[in-house]
Amino acid sequence: MYRLGLVGYPLEHSLSPMIHGSALRIANINGDYRLYPVPPSPQGMAELGQLISKMRHGKLKGLNITIPYKQAIMEYLDVLTPAAQAIGAVNTLFMSDGKLVGDNSDAPGFMADLENIYSKKTVGREVSRVLVLGAGGAARAVVYALGMAGWEVIIAARRLKQASDLVTHILHKIPDLKNTQSVPTNASELNGRFPIRAIDLNELPVFIQQTDPIHLVVNATSVGMFPDIYASPWPEHLELPASAMVYDLVYNPEETLFLHRARQQGHLAWSGWGMLVEQALISFEKWTGIAVPRQLVVQSLSIEGKPD
């Protein structure tokens, strides 16, 4: 029996069991997908160790990892895939040749959903400049994916050092982006010299006025996620860039306050539901070797009343 699951805290908002349950049925696999809420505490770390032990002994076939363990989990692993190593965060665990491997399906999942959006006739593909809100584990995957695709990325975070550290890390992992000199660690030196840079979130009003058009704004924070549904990562009295589309990685609620305000201002906007499905199916294929078509899962979930 395929026993799969999700490790993180909190997990009440998670729709992953529905997605993977649908994939298991479509693939005709006898299995289940459970939630393993592990609080960030000494007791929680012991729990995490027990789950890792179950994977090593074959009692669990695969695990997804979410907040707050996407980086903390790495010390338990034997091998990191190139993507996980470059991103510096893990969301998928599987066994290979007796070794526990950490991978990251967030980056390809995000890009797959974005490309799906661009394939629609209503959306142009001239996007080139992206503003990413946040510098945590999810932001790492998004910035890496966009950087690999050759886009100009601006990271805005409340902690500028965290954003600057992310810039430096990503630039070292994508050789084509850096020049022949060493990548500087000072945030002011980074700005204007590389296609990925960092700014303080408090500088957004001035930055938006002075920079070239922003084509896409991505919320890569957990702000606005259930149950904190009345919060938004975007400053309340600041208009979104006129030319920007909006993508919120949060998927529960389906329409966050951030998305609601963006749509009220006339912007095209999408939730992280599509990314959630895409990254789930990438993980599922790692565990089972079966590529379940997205459309079949979406149709199955639509029957259950979930977004299509």
Residues of the chain with pLDDT under 70: 121-127, 175-194, 303-308
- Which pLDDT score, from 0 to 100, does residue 176 have? 60
Measure CA of the first residue to CA of the last residue in the chain; give whole Å. 29
213 neighbors 127 (Cβ within 8 angstroms): no
224 neighbors 256 (Cβ within 8 angstroms): yes
3-class SS of residue 301: helix
192 neighbors 199 (Cβ within 8 angstroms): no
3-class SS of residue 75: helix
Q: How far apart are CA 164 and CA 148, in angstroms?
A: 18
106 neighbors 100 (Cβ within 8 angstroms): no
Going by C-alpha positions, the residue among 300, 285, 286, 288 that lies closest to residue 29 is 288
Residue 209 CB coordination number (10 Å): 8
Q: Please, what sign has the CA dihedral across residues 83, 94, 62, 71?
A: negative
Percent of the chain with pLDDT over 70: 89
Going by C-alpha positions, the residue among 96, 135, 127 that lies closest to residue 111 is 127
- Which pLDDT score, from 0 to 100, does residue 194 have? 55
Q: Please, what sign has the CA dihedral across residues 68, 112, 97, 16?
A: positive
Take residue 82 and report the two structure tokens written for it: 């190139």
Q: How far apart are CA 111 and CA 221, in angstroms?
A: 17
- Which pLDDT score, from 0 to 100, does residue 121 have? 47
Residues annotated as catalytic are 70
Question: What residues does 31 pair with on adjacent strands?
Answer: 2
Take residue 216 and report the two structure tokens written for it: 């896409």
Take residue 2 and report the two structure tokens written for it: 């395929």
44 neighbors 38 (Cβ within 8 angstroms): yes
247 neighbors 114 (Cβ within 8 angstroms): yes
SS3 content of the chain, % helix, strand, coil (to 5): 40, 20, 40
Q: How far apart are CA 156 and CA 235, in angstroms?
A: 12
Give the H or E element holding residue 262: helix 257-264
- Which pLDDT score, from 0 to 100, does residue 119 have? 81
Q: How far apart are CA 120 and CA 52, in angstroms?
A: 41
What is the crossing angle of helices 137-148 and 160-173, to 10°? 40
Burial class of residue 113 in the structure, from the number of CB atoms within 10 Å of its CB (0-12 exposed, 13-18 middle, 19+ buried): buried
Question: What are the pLDDT digits (tens) for 230-261?
Answer: 999 999 889 999 989 999 999 989 899 999 99
Q: Which amino acid is at 148?
A: M
61 neighbors 2 (Cβ within 8 angstroms): yes
**What domains can you pick out in the chain, each with its CATH number?**
2-104+279-303 (3.40.50.10860), 124-267 (3.40.50.720)
